Structure 1
Amino acid sequence: MMKLRSKTLSRSPKRQVGMGLPTLLMGIVIIGAMTAKGIEMYNGWKLENDVDTVVESSRKVGQGLDAYKRQWKHFNGFANSDVWNSPQLYTESLRSPVADQFNTVFSDNGIQYAPVTSVTNRAGKNFTSPTAKPMWVQQSYSGITTGACYMAVDKLIGEALQISLNGTRIHDNATKKSECDKAGDTTGATLQIVM
Structure 2
Amino acid sequence: MFFLIIILIISQLISFYLIILLNAKIAKFKDLEVRQEQLIREMDDAISVYLIEMREENDRLIKELSKVNQEEPSSKNSNFELKESLERSNSIDIISTPSKDVLVQPKTILPNIAKKAYQQQKNIDSTHQKETIKQDTIADTFENKVLELYKTGKTIEEIAKETNKGKTEIELLLKFHS
TM-score normalised to structure 1 length: 0.30
TM-score normalised to structure 2 length: 0.33
Greater C-alpha Rg: 2
Could you say which structure has the greater relative contact order, defined with CA pairs below 8 angstroms and 6 or more residues apart?
1
Of Structure 1 and Structure 2, which has the larger fraction of its residues in strand?
1
